[in-house]
Amino acid sequence: MTDAQDFDGLKALVTGGASGIGRATADLLAARGARVAVLDLDPSSVEGPLLGHRADVTDDASVRAAVAAAAEALGGLDVLVNNAGIGAQGTVEDNDDAEWHRVLDVNVLGIVRTTRAALPLLRRSAHAAVVNTCSIAATAGLPRRALYSATKGAVLSLTLAMAADHVREGIRVNCVNPGTVDTPWVGRLLDAAADPAAERAALEARQPTGRLVTASEVAGAIAYLASPLSGATTGTALAVDGGMQGLRLRPV
């Protein structure tokens, strides 16, 4: 966990920061002293002290405009949290090419676009850090998650490649690998079940801890990787999964 002064004077941009993990991260960074802007499809729920910027990570022009506007409002940029992402269910037979392109566009190219727009700003920072929200799906071999897993596998390798490319520029790049996190996204999946309460109980029972990960627990890991406290850490993936991977368990 971080202390109030860890982010004093630092400026951060969180994509997908209007909901779930992104919102918990934006709130935590702000509580720890950072000036924080949120980039989201729908930033209408974002309130002060957070600054909301409307953009779609699949639209390069809107990303460039939002990153520039955020940096202008914040007075620079030290921390980029690439968190915006969407889900997909099914085997390779269940998703057509259009669906593959749609999800890859958000989950993988979205990170490429925001990072490309942010790099010139991050190069001017003395504490530059990029944190990508990946997933245990990157390496766990989850059933019926072929497309989603492939996008997160790409996020993991992109994190390592970006860390190598920018280490000598003083820009650190890491990712977090959450397990099943209690966010509006998971709430929507549960609500679609015939018996949401029974589905939630079954999901909790499959967790090593017997409960879902909270968004603020993922935010804590992101904040650590974004702060100068982790100044010697780059090119790593930090699991925030209630022991799912370390204990060699897998959700079904």
Q: Looking at the annotation, which residues are catalytic?
A: 148
Least distance from C-beta 8 to ligand NAD, angstroms? 26
Query: With binding defined as CB under 6 A, does residue 227 bind ligand NAD?
Result: no
Contact string 130-149 vs ligand NAD (x = CB under 6 A):
---x-x--------------
Least distance from C-beta 138 to ligand NAD, angstroms? 9
Tell me 212's DSSP state. Answer: P
Query: With binding defined as CB under 6 A, does residue 233 bind ligand NAD?
Result: no
Which residue from 207, 203, 205 is spatially nearest to 192, judged by alpha carbons?
Answer: 203
Beta carbons within 10 angstroms of residue 60's beta carbon: 15
Binding test (CB under 6 A) with ligand NAD, winner from 183, 207, 227, 234: 183
Binding test (CB under 6 A) with ligand NAD, winner from 2, 19, 230, 245: 19
User: Distance between CA 117 and CA 74 in Å, rounded?
Assistant: 15
Binding test (CB under 6 A) with ligand NAD, winner from 143, 184, 196, 246: 184
Please give the order of strands across the beta sheet that includes 35-40.
51-54, 35-40, 11-15, 79-82, 128-133, 171-178, 237-240
What's at 175, amino acid-wise?
A: C
Query: With binding defined as CB under 6 A, does residue 18 bind ligand NAD?
Result: yes
Binding test (CB under 6 A) with ligand NAD, winner from 58, 139, 214, 216: 58
C-beta closer to ligand NAD: residue 127 or 129: 129
User: Distance between CA 240 and CA 50 in Å, rounded?
Assistant: 25
Spatial CB neighbours of 172, under 8 Å, sequence gap ≥ 6: 128, 129, 130, 163, 225, 230, 231, 233, 234
C-beta closer to ligand NAD: residue 35 or 145: 145
Which residue from 164, 167, 166, 132 is spatially nearest to 151, judged by alpha carbons?
Answer: 132
Binding test (CB under 6 A) with ligand NAD, winner from 25, 83, 115, 227: 83
Query: With binding defined as CB under 6 A, does residue 181 bind ligand NAD?
Result: yes
